[in-house]
Chain A
Amino acid sequence: MRVGVDVTPLRLTSAGTARYLRNLLARLEPEHEVRRIAFGGAGRASVLARELVWYPHLLGHVRGVDVLHCPTYYAPTAPRVPLVVTVHDLAVWRRPEAFGAWTRRFVPLAVPRMLRRASRVIAVSEFTRRELVELVGLPEERIAVVPNAVEPEFGPEGDAAAGEYVLAVGTLEPRKNLPRLAEAARAAGHELRVVGERGWGDVPLAGVTWLGRVDDAELARLYRGALCLAYPSLYEGFGIPVLEAMACGTPVVTSRGGGTEEVADGAAVLVDPLDAESIAAGIGEAISRRAELREAGLARAAQFSWDDAARRTVELYREVSA
């Protein structure tokens, strides 16, 4: 099969979306004819040109492929071949205050038009599927749930980082709720180490140990050495760090509701992300229930696999293309 894949996210981020793409491409490329398509970079002019012209109009002219896969919700409005779009979350609709002025206005206006043209929409969780039905009005029958997974580097065996610390993982942006987490970690009396690239917005890092971007091997070491992963994000469609931590046997504290609760499926301590005291109490609970959470988390993480995700994605390509 000839598949056109928009790989622009690989140029823009190394977080969830890029992980999703890398894992998908690694499994598609040996067996199918994959055409990588991308436009521009992270500069302001580039973003504007891409979102206003390239995605809605130019990308639709792609030919010579059987199906076009857009791995974020930006997609052409007049595709010339059947279109598959992956949606990770609809955070812009639920938490507009956590986004810049441009995204906040443009996405809710343009993205529904793009998604209506898709022959299949992939939701990374049941939660995102429900959000798509409720917020975009997509019919259920065109949505398929294909969950993310974790790389083999993330396992319980191996080197662990030294020290007593709570770990936070995520791009530095308002949605990840870092200031409240820092407050909670301080109240609980633990060091907070933060892994993640600078995103946007003014995210204060006072009182935390910021490690920036690290490779997967180092990230796995950090998970294994942590007292727990604290991931009280304000909104997630899935929450890959939750799964990575569970795969490493690390207790997890994360937000109640949304994608994180679904991924945790009872194997994590759930807290109210808007309440620093609740987060602090959750951290304490996770540390005291370590052995039990470790077993439950390992069992839960074993249910996800990138091979399954890729297989299911190819099935969807086949449903809509030659």
Chain B
Amino acid sequence: MRLVVDVAPLSHQRTGVGNYVRGSLAGIAEAAAGRHELVAFALASPGGRREIEAALDGIPLERRLPALPGAHAVRTAWSRLGAPPLERLAGRLDVLHFSDWWYPPQRAGIRSTMIHDLVPLHFPAWVHKRTERMHGAKYRHAARTCDVIVVNSRYTGDDVVRTLGVPAERVHVAYPGVDAAFSPVGPRASGDYVLTVGTLEPRKNLGAAIAATRGRELRVVGPPGWGGVQVEHATWLGYRSPEELPALYRGASVFVFPSRFEGFGMPVLEAMACGVPCVVSAHPSLDEACGDAAVRADPDDADAIAAGIEEALGRRDELVPRGLAHVRAFTWRACGEAHLRAWGAL
């Protein structure tokens, strides 16, 4: 089969969604093992195209990456217009798997998309206006037209069924994996600190992490975001590439993640894979990422998070092996297989 996967989100600095797109693609390539033709497709600006090329490095697949300025506007207009079919640019296809940035028309084949979370529908105040416009329309369209909707967790899957009214048999869970670079062995950053990772945006609830770590150094990794979120009373390290992150995780005494809502919560897996005890928001959207290997705390209660940090430090010897065992099940290969299974291509 010829599988065309939209990789437009790789045109940005990679955070959660970009890491998932890259990891799942590598997993699909590995699981397909040459039995299928795999094509990465994206309409992107010339700068974005360079980012995509770099992100795809090392994954065996065909690249169809037409560069054009104003790619965002073109994607939106093309989605709304509903013509011409994507085959004009991507060639013949048996599966089209598109990102949550648009909903391109297609002539034939299985129509499949990815939904990372429904934050824009539930909490419009927590997303950028542009994200709200772009994703809101896409979700409704996807729910109507897609044969397959891939989600990153059972939580998101149930949400899609409930909120968008998609029949459950069309929704398929493909859990994210953890890159091999995230392991307990390797260089570690110096210092005694608590770590949190996340874009500076309201949903990540950074203020609670800061309030809960008074008296300890909190280091914050994440690109500048929006919504007036600034790092105060903590050490901001800015955006760190996936190559730099493992050392920062390893050096941390505790990883704290008080997010108010996640599709999955990949940083939790990464921290566990690096052998760091985790204190994670008690919101149910994070249950699957945590398993039984994290201390959970009410994200709106800084005292509870502070107590959670103390508990995680005290139970380190127990939490670390549990975390390592928990993350073993999460591989990009399994993620790729779940995609192929959803498309009837395994």
Contacts and interface: CB of A to CB of B under 8 A. Distances in A.
Given A80-B224, A120-B235, A141 B217 contact: yes
A215 interface: no
B217 A322 contact: no
B93 to A, nearest CB: 38
A320 B235 contact: yes
Contacts of B193: 141
A59 B195 CA distance: 27
B236 A119 contact: yes
B217 A119 contact: no
B236 A139 contact: no
A14 interface: no
A116 B232 contact: yes
B235 A119 contact: yes
B240 A322 contact: yes
A260 interface: no
A77 interface: yes
B94 interface: no
A322 B247 CA distance: 12
Contacts of A141: 191, 193, 216-217, 235
A321 interface: yes
A117 B230 contact: yes
Given A139-B217, A319-B191, A117 B237 contact: no
A322 B235 contact: no
A142 B235 contact: yes
Interface in A303-322: 319-322
B302 interface: no
B233 interface: yes
Contacts of B190: 319
11 contacts: A78-B224, A81-B238, A82-B236, A82-B238, A116-B233, A139-B217, A141-B193, A141-B235, A142-B217, A320-B237, A322-B240
B191 A117 contact: no
Contacts of A322: 238, 240-241, 244
A322 B193 CA distance: 18
Taking chain A's interface residues, is the majority helix, strand, or loop, or is none over half, making it mixed?
loop
Given A320-B237, A322-B240, A77 B230 contact: yes
B231 interface: yes
Contacts of A142: 217, 235
Interface centre among A66, A79, A141, A321 (most CB of B within 10 A): A141
Interface residues of A, number: 19
B198 to A, nearest CB: 16
A321 B237 contact: yes
Interface in A130-147: 139, 141-142
Contacts of A319: 189-191
Contact of B233 (A78, A79, A81, A139): A139
Nearest to B213: A139
Interface in B208-261: 215-217, 224, 230-233, 235-238, 240-241, 244
Contact of A119 (B191, B237, B244): B237
Contacts of B236: 79, 82-83, 117, 119, 320
B230 A78 contact: yes
A142 B132 CA distance: 37
Interface in B74-93: none
A77 B107 CA distance: 51
Interface string A276-306: 0000000000000000000000000000000
Interface in B150-196: 189-191, 193
Contacts of A119: 231, 235-237
A77 B232 CA distance: 10
B306 to A, nearest CB: 15
A81 B13 CA distance: 14
Interface in A100-138: 116-117, 119-120
A77 B236 CA distance: 13
B234 to A, nearest CB: 8
Contacts of A116: 232-233
Contacts of A120: 235
Those 5 A-B pairs whose CB atoms lie nearest each other, nearest first: A141-B217, A116-B232, A82-B238, A119-B235, A80-B224
Nearest to A113: B232
B247 to A, nearest CB: 11
A139 B193 CA distance: 13
A117 B238 contact: no
A66 B237 CA distance: 10
A132 to B, nearest CB: 13
Contacts of B216: 141
Contact of A321 (B217, B224, B238): B238
A117 B189 CA distance: 21
A142 B231 CA distance: 13
Nearest to B228: A78
Contacts of B191: 141, 319
A65 to B, nearest CB: 10
Interface string B14-48: 00000000000000000000000000000000000
A66 B239 CA distance: 10
A182 to B, nearest CB: 45
Contacts of B241: 322
A141 B193 CA distance: 9
